[in-house]
């Protein structure tokens, strides 16, 4: 439930529950009062009935000595009062006075004769006034019987005390429930979120997980978890980038030492005046080769850094498959002929593609340069581009066919396969890492170690993928997957 709705309902309950509690107490007390009132009324009526035969004696309503009223005193008690009045309003007798005390008071007749023959209920008493007539139907006086509501007064005081105690208990219970609800709904999740935020800021991990809810605090917790995940992901990515940079610097420093050492050695040797012309030309060729290698390393590093930048955007254009791949695969015959390598090229394309031609040329250059470098003299290299609906060439090594078919689904693949010593299985997972070189190549100045890393970045920027299969002492197959846009 949303906190806004929960608070509105809580406020409504806090306002209505006390009213409901007071009303229930009032109903219960009223029901008790009615029952008690009926019992008191019956008791008073019974007392009146018992006294009427005595109080209708005409002789009682004449001025006389107090001894004549003693029998009436025995009929009354602390809770029952009897008053006798003469017809003219003079009070003749009252049970609340002591014997010998004067009680001949003259009451106002108009007031005295009010509410005759009516049961009067007051807060503390029941009373009844009735006239008395002689045989000639002449009014001789009246009597008033008053019954104290002692039991009701005591009970009422007790009920009032109990009512205040119950109301106090109710308000304390209501306050406790409200506080517990607020603590459960607001304070506890907010404190928990605060602890997690402090722990995350301090780089600590909390054992207790944040409780998800469907209210506004739950939304805040969800956003915090998302933000936390993004920060952790960014932090891990930065740490990884920093690690890669340190590795790149270390690898570059190591790989530059060999050509620099050779350059220095041959540069010093060229200062020797006794060198023959042939020796100078040989040394100069070696120096130029090492300088070209260093330039290539620096160029590869620049390309790798540029491709990793978020600002580096591809210049995507639509190309015709046949024409583009025919252009892309041209120009590799001569490097292969220099090593006596037999190059086989195959195109089976029926699609158009959205590509960056410049980056795709760099991709194939890197992959072919790797293949030519690691293919022994007088062996073979195969280069192909195959649409998703076409079958693989029959020259694909049989042990790779099933994996390639499963991997190339719904896309065009570029295949570069060469014969050679192959790559160890333990090295395949690392082959696309920057500056990675196997033990044979490391330190020989053969490559910068960035070619396959650059190829992987280029494929990922084209929403494609690249993978490699290899069998030791037989050869290696590199495959690049490209989305197909439509028939050309």
For residue 251, the domain's CATH number is 1.10.287.130
Same domain, 351 and 420: yes
Number of H helices, E strands in the chain: 13, 13
Q: Tell me how far apart the alpha carbons of residues 256 and 344 are, in angstroms, rounded to a whole number.
A: 35
**Which residue bears the tokens 């009926």?**
38
| Strand ranges inside 36-114, DSSP E | 80-86, 91-94
Does residue 207 fall inside a structural domain?
no
| Per-residue tens of pLDDT for the chain, all 488 residues | 677 777 788 778 888 888 888 888 778 777 777 777 788 888 888 988 888 888 888 988 888 888 888 888 888 888 889 999 888 888 888 888 655 444 566 667 788 888 888 988 887 888 999 999 988 889 999 999 998 888 777 777 787 788 888 888 888 888 888 888 888 877 888 888 888 888 888 878 777 777 777 777 778 888 888 888 888 888 888 888 777 777 666 666 766 777 788 788 878 787 777 778 888 888 888 888 778 777 777 776 777 777 666 556 678 899 988 889 999 999 899 989 989 999 999 999 877 898 999 989 988 998 998 899 889 999 999 999 999 889 999 999 999 999 999 999 889 999 999 998 888 887 887 887 776 666 555 444 455 667 788 888 889 888 899 999 999 889 999 999 998 876 55
Q: Which two tokens stand for residue 8?
A: 């509105």
Does residue 399 fall inside a structural domain?
yes
Does residue 360 fall inside a structural domain?
yes
* Coil/strand/helix, residue 130: strand
How many CA atoms within 13 Å lie on the side-chain side of 363? Answer: 29
Does residue 261 fall inside a structural domain?
yes
* Coil/strand/helix, residue 352: strand
- CB atoms closer than 10 angstroms to residue 366: 21
Same domain, 31 and 149: yes
Does residue 165 fall inside a structural domain?
no
Same domain, 89 and 39: yes
> Which pLDDT value is given to residue 437?
66
Q: Tell me how far apart the alpha carbons of residues 206 and 188 are, in angstroms, rounded to a whole number.
A: 16
* Coil/strand/helix, residue 151: helix
Nearest CA to 481 among 422, 428, 423, 404? 404
Domain boundary among 112, 135, 154: 154
Q: Which two tokens stand for residue 467?
A: 């993978």
Q: How many structural domains compose the chain?
A: 3
> Which pLDDT value is given to residue 310?
54
Give the H/E segment covering residue 355: strand 351-355
Does residue 170 fall inside a structural domain?
no
Domain boundary among 283, 312, 341: 312
Same domain, 351 and 287: no
Give the H/E segment covering residue 477: strand 475-483
Same domain, 83 and 141: yes
pTM beyond 0.75: the answer is no
Q: Which two tokens stand for residue 165?
A: 């105690």
The DSSP code sequence of 376-390 is PTT-EEEEEEE-TTS
Contact 32, 159 (CB under 8 A): yes
Same domain, 334 and 460: yes
Same domain, 35 and 100: yes
The DSSP code sequence of 190-213 is HHHHHHHHHHHHTT---SSPPPP-
Nearest CA to 287 among 305, 314, 311, 269? 269
Domain boundary among 276, 291, 312: 312
- CB atoms closer than 10 angstroms to residue 48: 17
Mode of pairing for the β-strands spanning 125-133 and 317-320: unpaired
Mode of pairing for the β-strands spanning 465-471 and 380-386: unpaired
> Which pLDDT value is given to residue 97?
67
Same domain, 363 and 411: yes
Same domain, 90 and 58: yes
Same domain, 134 and 65: yes
> Which pLDDT value is given to residue 443?
46
Same domain, 456 and 344: yes
Q: Tell me how far apart the alpha carbons of residues 235 and 82 are, in angstroms, rounded to a whole number.
A: 99
For residue 24, the domain's CATH number is 3.30.450.20
Same domain, 424 and 292: no
Does residue 369 fall inside a structural domain?
yes
* Coil/strand/helix, residue 457: helix
Does residue 192 fall inside a structural domain?
no
Nearest CA to 355 among 463, 451, 455? 463
For residue 426, the domain's CATH number is 3.30.565.10
Query: Domain span at residue 38?
Result: 3-154
């Amino acid at each position: 439930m949303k906190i806004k709705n929960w608070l509105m309902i809580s406020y409504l309950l806090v306002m209505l529950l006390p009213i409901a509690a007071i009303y229930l107490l009032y109903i219960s007390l009223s029901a008790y009062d009615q029952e008690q009132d009926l019992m008191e009324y019956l008791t008073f009526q019974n007392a009146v009935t018992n006294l009427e035969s005595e109080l209708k004696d005409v002789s009682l309503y004449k001025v006389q000595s107090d001894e004549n009223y003693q029998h009436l005193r025995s009929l009354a008690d602390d809770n029952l009062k009897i008053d006798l009045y003469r017809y003219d309003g003079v009070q003749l007798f009252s049970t609340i006075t002591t014997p010998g005390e004067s009680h001949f008071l003259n009451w106002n007749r108009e007031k005295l004769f009010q509410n005759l023959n009516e049961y009067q209920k007051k807060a503390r008493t029941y009373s009844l006034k009735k006239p008395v007539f002689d045989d000639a139907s002449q009014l001789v006086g009246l009597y008033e019987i008053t019954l104290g509501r002692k039991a009701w007064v005591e009970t009422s005081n007790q009920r009032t005390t109990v009512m205040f105690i119950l109301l106090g208990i109710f308000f304390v219970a209501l306050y406790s429930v409200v506080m517990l609800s607020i603590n459960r709904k607001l304070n506890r999740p907010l404190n928990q979120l605060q602890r997690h935020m402090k722990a995350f800021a301090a780089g600590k991990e909390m054992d207790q997980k944040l409780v998800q809810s469907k209210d506004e605090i739950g939304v805040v917790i969800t956003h915090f978890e998302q933000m936390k995940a993004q920060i952790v992901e960014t932090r891990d990515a930065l740490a990884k980038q920093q690690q890669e940079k340190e590795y790149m610097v270390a690898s570059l420093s190591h790989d530059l030492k060999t050509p620099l050492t050779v350059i220095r050695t041959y540069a010093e040797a060229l200062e020797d005046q006794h060198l023959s012309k042939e020796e100078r030309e040989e040394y100069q060729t070696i120096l130029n080769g090492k300088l070209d290698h260093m330039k290539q390393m620096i160029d590869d590093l620049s390309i790798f850094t540029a491709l990793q930048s978020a600002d580096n955007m591809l210049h995507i254009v639509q190309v015709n498959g046949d024409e583009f791949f025919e252009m892309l695969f041209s120009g590799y015959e001569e490097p292969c002929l220099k090593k006596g390598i037999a190059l086989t090229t195959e195109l089976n394309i029926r699609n158009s593609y959205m590509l960056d031609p410049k980056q795709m040329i760099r991709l194939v250059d890197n992959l072919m340069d790797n293949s030519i470098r690691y293919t022994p003299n007088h062996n073979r290299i195969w280069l192909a581009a195959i649409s998703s609906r076409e079958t693989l060439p029959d020259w694909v090594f049989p042990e790779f066919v099933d994996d390639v078919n499963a991997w190339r689904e719904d896309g065009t693949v570029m295949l570069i396969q060469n014969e050679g010593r192959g790559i160890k299985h333990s090295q395949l997972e690392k082959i696309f890492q920057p500056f990675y070189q196997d033990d044979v190549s490391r330190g020989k100045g053969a490559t910068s170690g960035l070619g396959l890393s650059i190829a992987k970045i280029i494929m990922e920027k084209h929403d494609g993928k690249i993978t490699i299969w290899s069998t030791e002492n037989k050869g290696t197959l590199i495959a690049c997957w490209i989305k197909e846009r439509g028939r050309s």
